[in-house]
Structure 1
Amino acid sequence: MAFKVIKPGLLALLQDLGRHGHQSLGLTTGGPMDEMAFRWSNALLDNDTNSAQIEITFGMFSLEAQADTSIAITGADLGATLNDKSISPWRSYAIKKGDVLAFHQPIWGLRAYLAVKGGFLCEPTLGSVATVMREKIGGLTGKGDKLQKGDVLKYQPFSNHQDRAVPRLAIPNYGQTEIPVILGYQYESFSTLERANFFSSDYRVSGNSDRMGYRLEGKVITSDLKGIISEGIAYGAIQVPKDGQPIVLLRDRQTIGGYPKIGCVTRYGGGTLSQQKPGDVIQFTPITVDQAERERHLQMSRLAQWR
């Protein structure tokens, strides 16, 4: 049985935790922009950690159930309704045959995650169903297509539903505007003044941001390096191109690049950043590797203990 897509919205993509081990071939990882929201959605249903979900950006997305099941919604509050009745994110819900689930417009945040009991059934491509539109790989068709009206998303029927909710302490604050940054090895190529400008300035999220990278508008910063030999790009790398406007490279980033990088946002910070809409204002704050590891350990431990 399955969900049938009624309205495809602006951007709804099938995702798992990503396509790993293929960056040497030029293929990026893909995966959920907000990893912790994704992980909690599967946890609410006792799903495998990597079970496929739908990442819904901005909303305007609706589906109809063709069999009983359980769902979980995490991430942004996109004004979701079940049979026209409002429902909240970070909870699980029972679904009956014929139910209509709809996501409207953002109340807070930008991306919501929809999980179904047992995960959406989709044939993986190179070991993953993660949709990367730019590379035309993954997703329902295997060709990187976003979900379209009439698409059928299969799942195993399930009727033994349990109401569950994510603990309040584990729900992130998407109003948080400070994004943690680990300093990179090219940090020294930025003068003391340029570093101070970077960490003391507000940056506005550009409308030209996407899953590949968040482009920012604000104080121009420059590096003493005029250019570097192209090298591998880590998740969260903050590239500074010639125009001096930082770009934070995220899930669908290119695998190599040749611009100086002042640092790298953490996965948790990247998840928070990905919930910011064009026009939102953020700031960067430096942290150590130890601090980043402690935050990651805290988040993953909380999830594991709850499971």
Structure 2
Amino acid sequence: MSFEVLKPGHFSCIQDLGRVGYQHLGITTGGPMDEHAFSWANRLLGNSPNVAQVEITYGVLSLLAETDAMIAITGADLDARINDIHVAPWFSYSVAAGDRLEFNTPLSGLRAYLAVVGGFSATHKLGSCATVAREGIGGITGQGDYLTKGDRLNFDPHAHRSRATVPTWAIPDYDAQLALGVVPGYQAAQFPDDELEKFFSSSYEVTKNIDRMGYRLSGAAIDSGLDGIISEGICYGAIQVPGDGQPIILMKDRQTIGGYPKIGSLTALGAAQLSQRGPGASVNFYPITLYEAMLQRRLFGVP
């Protein structure tokens, strides 16, 4: 049972929650850029949290259903259509054999998630099928390939389920002004107070230099007061400040070590929100404690 890929889109790929425990070997985690949307897609279908989905970036993906299936779509509104009838994200839907499912260009947000009951089948390596193209690991073949024309997204047969929707309070507004909480790191103490104040009181713009590795921002330059640091392990959402003072947010396919000073880190929820913004979007930052970060995650409905 499968979907046939008629048009693969730009960066459509298989993702689960990623590889855990291999960064000391230089292998990054991968996983969905928007964990919140990914988690709700599986929840809509009663799936286990870690089953594989398709992450669709910028759209232009077209699939042919070769059998009946129950799907869920969450995340960005990429003008998804079933047989040319628009379907909104944050719902589950039934599709029949012969139906055509298309994702067009973004109406709101950048990344959508397509889930099916039981998850899509893919080769697991190091405990995950998450696609990391730079490292050549994950995906349908296990070689880190993005989807291509003619691929088949296989899944197990399943019974019909009732349609479901994500509650309104848990659906983000990807067009809203973005303010993200930052958990300060130990290197924050090395930044002069006036530079920290500048960072937390300034607006930054998302540049064109964005991908699954990182988001480069443009705005008030920050002087860390450090010439550099010895390269060390870096986490998802870390905010690096290179020599030009322009912040870089490290995302799912980040390198595992880095030598730039770091102000702190976004939460997974905050980084997910950033991943739905494109070039030109504005973002502000404010400091939060680890306890506040954990509370926000629970209140926002991340499973």
The question of 1:60 aligning with 2:60 is answered yes
For residue 294 of structure 2, what is the aligned residue in structure 1? 293
For residue 256 of structure 2, what is the aligned residue in structure 1? 255
Q: Distance between the aligned counterparts of 1:37 and 1:236, measured in 2?
A: 17
Is the contact made by 2:177 and 2:282 (CA closer than 8 Å) also made in structure 1? no
For residue 87 of structure 1, what is the aligned residue in structure 2? 87
Deviation per CA, 1:257-303: give whole Å up to 9, x if none: 1110011001110010000011111111111111101112223xx46
Deviation per CA, 1:96-149: give whole Å up to 9, x if none: 001100001111111000001110011211110000011111001111110011
Q: What is the aligned-residue RMSD (CA, Å)? A: 1.0
Is the contact made by 1:176 and 1:272 (CA closer than 8 Å) also made in structure 2? no
Give the partner amino acid of 2:78: L
Give the partner amino acid of 2:121: L
Q: Secondary structure at the match of 1:284?
A: strand
Q: Secondary structure at the match of 2:3?
A: strand
5 Å matches for 1:97-246?
97-174=97-174, 175-246=176-247
TM-score, length-scaled by structure 2:
0.97
Give the partner amino acid of 1:83: N
Is the contact made by 1:190 and 1:222 (CA closer than 8 Å) also made in structure 2? yes
> How far 1:159 moved relative to its partner?
4.1
Ranges in structure 1 where 5+ consecutive residues have no aligned partner:
none
Q: Distance between the aligned counterparts of 2:212 and 2:286, measured in 1?
A: 22
For residue 266 of structure 2, what is the aligned residue in structure 1? 265
Ranges in structure 2 where 5+ consecutive residues have no aligned partner:
none
Matched-pair identity in %? 56
TM-score, length-scaled by structure 1:
0.96
For residue 20 of structure 2, what is the aligned residue in structure 1? 20
More moved, 159-168 vs 226-235: 159-168
Is the contact made by 2:238 and 2:264 (CA closer than 8 Å) also made in structure 1? yes
For residue 282 of structure 1, what is the aligned residue in structure 2? 283
Q: Secondary structure at the match of 1:19?
A: coil
Q: Distance between the aligned counterparts of 1:133 and 1:216, measured in 2?
A: 23
Give the partner amino acid of 1:257: G
For residue 73 of structure 1, what is the aligned residue in structure 2? 73
